[in-house]
Structure 1
Amino acid sequence: MQTDLLQEARRQAEICNACRYCEGYCSVFPALHRERAFSDGDLTQLANLCHNCRGCYYACQYTAPHEFDLNLPKALAEVRRDSWESYAWPQPVARKFHTHGGAIALALVIGFALLFAAIKAIGSAGGDGFYAVLSHNAMVAIFAPAFLLPLVSIGISLRRYWQSVWGRRIQMQDVIGAFRKAAKMKDLAAGHGDGCNFEDEDRFSQGRRHVHQAIMYGFLLCFASTSVATVMHYGFGLHAPYGLFSLPKLLGLSGGILLTLGCAGMVALKLKSDRELGDANAWGGEIGFILLLGFVGLSGLVLYALGATAVMPALLAIHLGSVLTFFLLTPFTKMAHGFYRLTALIREQQNQRSI
């Protein structure tokens, strides 16, 4: 990891530890105030606990033009991104993605081209709906590796992270506690519960918390839709296409709507926010990822609406191309934040039990 980023984060953390004004703001400050000195692992853990709500910055009396020049949200954001890049496997891909948001567009073009080529070369062995364009077996052959390989990559990355923060043997109570915090996104409400100052320093807002929840639950509903459809297909011999009031359709449509609206809301908030309170070098990559994720949801909804028309084959290729791109880039995008954040919360649960 980059020594200069860690050194700056250490300097600011030591000043915050002496001040303690922000003690109840979020998970970061109780964890920070437990320490007297900060190792690289401590700083990495603090950075991944931080959700960049920025409340501490606007409350701080030591920001510029004070000589201390504190900007803890920015310092932790830079360490956080550097940790994802350092622990990622393969590492060069992660560093290129976070500093070059255009890589997403290139990956989309490649994904579309490969998918169109696959449709033309493989064809369909017959079927209804989408399977009349691309057979079920062809879809499985394309997407199973694209789903499993990123999971392997993320698993390697999280193992490296866990070792760097001296994680201990995980107990179920730690996992349950971490999932509860993640489900509520409590830290985005800050310690007082009024929300954060992400888009406006003078106003507390729950907006960022709500769009985060829309994205998270929208994605989980879409994943649940695919999982249920898989069980129905292989377990009960019930093959697609499914009706509007079937479980896969209800889960998928509600998830797609939440995902699309959540991503649109997140882009709007980011455009209003101060880039200098986050990792400015990764801003393009973050926006690119949110747009990609939102496009996955939107293209799925458009595909459903126009699935019985002549444009369905082209829409299917575009949608599946965006999904394929999303899967392949998952270990190297902001999507990795969810996995690291949950792992950091588990580690924090362990630390709280040891007090």
Structure 2
Amino acid sequence: MQQLESLTREAQNLAGASEHSVTWHKKGITENEAEVARQMQICNACRYCEGFCAVFPAMTRRLQFDNKADLNYLANLCHNCGACLHACQYAPPHEFMVNIPQAMAKVRLETYTDFAWPAALGSLYKRNGLTVALAMAFGLALFLVLALLSQGSLWHEPLAGNFYAVFPHNTLVVLFGSVFGFSILALLIGVVRFWREITPGQASGVAVGEAAHYALKLKYLDGGHGEGCNDEDDRFTLRRRRYHHLTFYGFMLCFASTSVATIYHYVFGWQAPYDYTSLPVILGTVGGIGLLIGPIGLLTLNLKRSPLHGDAAQKPMDRGFIALLFLTSLTGLALLIWRDTGAMALLLAIHLGVVMALFLTMPYGKFAHGFYRCAALLKSSIEKRMPNKLSLGSD
């Protein structure tokens, strides 16, 4: 124990020395990244949490933490489950102030900003919040509502659910296709830049399959022991993992619904609207329900979680993304239910405004974390299959 205390104090003093800060600056390492390096040095001396998640095995493969790419990789590998924070004997109020989830969260935001495309828009990550998200959704919905008003009344004779009688099909395809395409392109370019920076090595089919399995299962939201993330009162719970599953798979089902409808339209020539028992409507309904329950649960947890969990400055961005997902589902289900009424055009305009706001904020908001985390998981799967020449473990 004395040796461990000596090692951790040495790491503490080294990280805080002014000459060491100059070294960080020369290597392009930010203050937040230097803090992750300091804490990783302490954790690498302790290793109590070695089996908790992918971060700590990756940590043990390194002797030093003065590489910016490594720090960004480790930060995006962290799922902010909180298990290490609640288990750590050096967590606040200890003088070492070790809080891995919070330190990693701050570096993740810097990662999104640094690798954003176009680079000039990277600062939007720090401005993207609940107010911005709601204001954008309201503004776009209002614009479409006013466009309808310019053509006549918002209340109309029932149109049998024919959305294209309100907004032409080709207009919607060009408008939403271009925005969604740009959003995905911007995200992919950012992740490719991140991928090249962390020098992942050669990916094998086994590594890709494992990383995909871990991502789809959300394995590292189980706290490393299967009992889940730590709640605000230190209890283990799987609620966060389950709400993430409902949100993610709800979104994917809605995307699948749109994809199937696109195939119906262009391949088979089957025009919307589709019956309630059709595949696009069933997929959209089930996905929409998931996108109601999941975001409500995530928002509840976000509001209740301890300030020590994650970066409090990023909570507005988290809540903005959650709110847009929820409103997309709510307005979409309302449109489905009342599509055969005279309110269809108004509901359609509101829904399209919310969807447009979601697409516009996707590349510069919380949505990005899924892409970067998948890249980090893949690097982890590749790395652990490589000869570990730097490990300090028993092997």
Band the TM-score falls in, shorter-chain normalisation: over 0.9
CA distance in 2: counterparts of 1:285 and 1:209, whole angstroms = 19
Does 2:141 align with 1:112? yes
What code does the residue aligned with 1:14 have?
Answer: Q
Q: TM-score, normalised by structure 2?
A: 0.85
Equivalent of residue 59 in structure 1, options 82, 87, 95: 87
Other-structure match for 1:37: 64
Q: How many Å apart are 1:327 and its aligned residue?
A: 1.0
Q: How many Å apart are 1:158 and its aligned residue?
A: 0.7
Q: Does structure 2 retain, via aligned residues, the 8 Å contact 1:228–1:247?
A: yes
Q: Does structure 2 retain, via aligned residues, the 8 Å contact 1:198–1:208?
A: no
Q: How many Å apart are 1:315 and its aligned residue?
A: 0.9
Deviation string, structure 1 residues 66-92 (Cα, Å, up to 9, x no partner)? 211111110000001110111111344
Q: How many Å apart are 1:43 and its aligned residue?
A: 1.0
Does 2:56 align with 1:24? no
What code does the residue aligned with 1:336 have?
Answer: A
Other-structure match for 1:274: 306
Other-structure match for 2:180: 147
Does 2:166 align with 1:133? yes
What code does the residue aligned with 2:354 have?
Answer: S
Other-structure match for 2:19: none
Q: Does structure 2 retain, via aligned residues, the 8 Å contact 1:256–1:301?
A: yes
Equivalent of residue 287 in structure 1, options 319, 333, 337: 319
Q: Does structure 2 retain, via aligned residues, the 8 Å contact 1:55–1:198?
A: no
CA distance in 2: counterparts of 1:240 and 1:134, whole angstroms = 13
CA distance in 1: counterparts of 2:173 and 2:206, whole angstroms = 36
Equivalent of residue 339 in structure 1, options 356, 360, 371: 371
Other-structure match for 1:103: 132
Deviation string, structure 1 residues 202-224 (Cα, Å, up to 9, x no partner)? x1100000000000100000000
Does 2:347 align with 1:318? no
Query: Identity percentage over the alignment?
Result: 43
Other-structure match for 1:88: 116
Larger radius of gyration: 2
Q: How many Å apart are 1:121 and its aligned residue?
A: 8.0
Equivalent of residue 382 in structure 2, options 331, 343, 350: 350
Other-structure match for 1:156: 189
Other-structure match for 2:390: none
Q: How many Å apart are 1:277 and its aligned residue?
A: 2.2
Q: Does structure 1 retain, via aligned residues, the 8 Å contact 2:232–2:306?
A: yes
What code does the residue aligned with 1:129 have?
Answer: N
Equivalent of residue 214 in structure 2, options 181, 185, 195: 181
Q: Which has the higher helix share?
A: 1
Q: How many Å apart are 1:148 and its aligned residue?
A: 0.6
Q: Larger deviation: 189-198 or 246-255? A: 189-198
Q: How many Å apart are 1:192 and its aligned residue?
A: 1.3
What code does the residue aligned with 1:340 have?
Answer: Y
CA distance in 2: counterparts of 1:192 and 1:82, whole angstroms = 29
Evaluate the alpha carbon distance shift between residue 213 and residue 56 of structure 1 in structure 2; reply closer, same or farther with a 3 A threshold: same
Structure 2: give runs of 5+ residues left out of the alignment.
Answer: 1-27, 153-158, 388-395
Q: How many Å apart are 1:119 and its aligned residue?
A: 5.3
Other-structure match for 1:234: 266
Q: Does structure 1 retain, via aligned residues, the 8 Å contact 2:160–2:340?
A: no
Evaluate the alpha carbon distance shift between residue 117 and residue 90 of structure 1 in structure 2; reply closer, same or farther with a 3 A threshold: farther
Q: How many Å apart are 1:198 and its aligned residue?
A: 3.8
Structure 1: give runs of 5+ residues left out of the alignment.
Answer: none
Other-structure match for 2:9: none
What code does the residue aligned with 1:12 have?
Answer: Q
Evaluate the alpha carbon distance shift between residue 178 and residue 122 of structure 1 in structure 2; reply closer, same or farther with a 3 A threshold: farther
CA distance in 1: counterparts of 2:231 and 2:213, whole angstroms = 23
Q: How many Å apart are 1:172 and its aligned residue?
A: 3.2
Q: How many Å apart are 1:304 and its aligned residue?
A: 0.9
Q: Does structure 2 retain, via aligned residues, the 8 Å contact 1:89–1:157?
A: yes
Q: How many Å apart are 1:317 and its aligned residue?
A: 0.7
CA distance in 2: counterparts of 1:108 and 1:289, whole angstroms = 11
CA RMSD of aligned residues (A): 2.0
Q: How many Å apart are 1:17 and its aligned residue?
A: 0.7
Evaluate the alpha carbon distance shift between residue 118 and residue 36 of structure 1 in structure 2; reply closer, same or farther with a 3 A threshold: farther
Does 2:42 align with 1:9? no
What code does the residue aligned with 1:200 have?
Answer: D
CA distance in 2: counterparts of 1:343 and 1:140, whole angstroms = 30
Q: Larger deviation: 221-230 or 275-284? A: 275-284
CA distance in 1: counterparts of 2:127 and 2:177, whole angstroms = 29
Q: How many Å apart are 1:349 and its aligned residue?
A: 1.2
